[in-house]
Amino acid sequence: RAIRYALSRAALEARLYESEARMNFALEGAKLGLWDWRVDTGSVVFNSIWAEMLGYTLDELAMTLTNWTELVHPEDWPAINASLQSHLVGQTAVYESEHRLRHKDGHWVWVHGTGRVVERDSDGRALRAVGIHQDVSHRKQAEARDRVLVAALDAVSLGVIITDTEARIEWANPAFAKLTGYSFEETQGRRPADLVKSGQQDAAFYQAMWQVINSGQSWHGELVNRRKNGELYHEEMTIAPVPDENGVVQHFVGVKQDVSQRKRLEAELLELATTDPLTGLYNRRYFMNRLEVELSRIRRKECCQVSVLMLDLDHFKSINDRYGHAIGDQMLCHVAALM
C-alpha cells in the first residue's frame, strides 16, 4: 500500500507540475501578470511577468496588499474597490477593471485586471482570490489617438465617409450629413451612389473612376450630386483605398467638398471675360478664340467651307446724337435680341 500510495502521489505531483508548467508557459506567452491574494492575511504573491510589467524584480516588491494598492492611480482606486468588493461578497461572478499602475520609472501603465475568489470559509467569506493583469497601454494609447482623430474629423468642414470594399458606408462625419442632407443613421450600410447620384455623369465617368480606385490609387475629381431635398450641387471629391497590413484593400475613405459657390463664381468670371456686359453677346476675345477653333477645323477637313458675316448698323451715331446714349444702348440690346 505504501508503494502504491507513493507511486500515486508521484504521478499526481508530476501531473500537477506539468499543469503548472503549462500555465506558466501560457502566462509567459500571453505576457500575463499573475497575482494570488490571501484575503484573510493581506499577503499577495506575484509572478515575475507582473513585476517586469512595472519595471521591478520580484525581490523589489513587498508581497502585501498595501504595496499593491499604493501602485494604483488615485483616480482609479474607487472603481477598482467597487468592483472588487462586489465580487468578494458574491454579487458578481468575476472581478474586472481597467486601471493604471505606476511604473518604477514613474509613468503609468494601463492594465486590464480580472480575478475570481477561489476559496471561501464556511460563512462564505472570501479567503483567497487569484487573477491576472494584462498590459493594455498600447490599446489605450490607440483608443486615445482614435478619439482625437474622430474629434478632428467631426470638427472639419469637409464631408468624410468610410466605406467597405462594396462601397457601403460604415462611418460618416457631421459635415457629410450637412452636405447631403442625410443623417448617419440614414446612410449607414448604403452606397453613396444610391443616395446622391444625380445622373449628370454617365456610366463611363464612374467606370473610369473605379478603375483608378481598384488599381490601388487615389481618385480626385469634380462631379454634380443631388442632396436629399433634390437640390443639385457641385462637389469636389477624393477617394482613397485603405489597405491592411498585408496590402489588401479593406476600406475606402472619401473626402467631399461643396464647390457650388466656386463654380458659380467661375461661371460669372467666364461670362465677364467672354461676353459684352450691355448686350450679353460674346465679345471680341471670345470671337477670336472661336475663330481660331473654326479655322483649325477647316484645315483638318478640306471639304468644309466657312463664311464670316459682318453686320453694321447704319446711321447709329445719329440715334445717339438725337435721342441720347441711353436710347442708343436700348437699340443695341434690341438688335442683339433679334440676332
* Rounded Cα gap, residues 74 and 67, in angstroms: 14
Answer yes or no: are the C-beta atoms of 162 and 240 closer than 8 Å: no
Query: How far is residue 302 from each of residues 81, 299, 328, measured CA to CA in Å?
Result: 94, 6, 42
Query: What is the CA angle 330-333-334, rounded to 5?
Result: 85
**Buried b or exposed e, range 36-74, using 16+ CB within 10 angstroms:** bbebeeeebebbebbbebbebeeeebebebeebeebbee
> Contact, 129 vs 95, CB < 8 A?
yes
| Angstrom distances, CA of residue 193 to CA of 166, 200, 224, 226, 229 | 11, 12, 12, 10, 16
Calculated CA dihedral for residues 295, 300, 304, 309, nearest 10 degrees: 0
Q: How many CA atoms lie within 13 A of 225 on its CB side?
A: 22
pLDDT in tens, 38-82: 988 888 888 888 888 899 988 888 778 788 888 999 999 999 999
Give CA 193 to chain center in angstroms: 20
pLDDT at 22: 56
C-alpha cell at 292: 481660331
Structure-block grid coordinates of residue 301: 477637313
| Digit-coded pLDDT (tens) for 53-62 | 899 988 888 7
pLDDT at position 13:
67
d(CA 124, CA 87): 12
For residue 198, the one-letter residue type is: S
What are the CA-CA distances from residue 39 to residues 93, 94, 111, 130, 138 (Å)?
A: 17, 15, 21, 10, 31
- CA 327 – CA 255 distance, rounded (Å): 53
Which residue type is seen at 162?
A: I
d(CA 215, CA 299): 40
**For residue 202, which amino acid is it?**
D
Please tell me the pTM assigned to this model.
Answer: 0.59
What per-residue confidence (pLDDT) applies to 273?
87
Alpha carbon 146 to its chain's center: 8
Taking only the tens of pLDDT, the chain with its 339 residues reads 888 877 777 777 666 556 555 555 555 555 788 888 998 888 888 888 888 889 998 888 877 878 888 899 999 999 999 999 999 999 999 999 999 999 999 999 999 999 999 989 988 899 999 898 999 999 899 888 888 888 888 888 899 999 999 999 999 999 999 999 999 999 999 999 899 999 999 989 999 999 999 888 999 999 999 999 999 999 999 999 998 888 888 999 999 999 999 888 888 888 888 999 899 899 998 999 999 988 888 888 777 777 888 888 888 999 999 999 999 999 999 999 998
Q: What is the pLDDT of residue 308?
A: 84
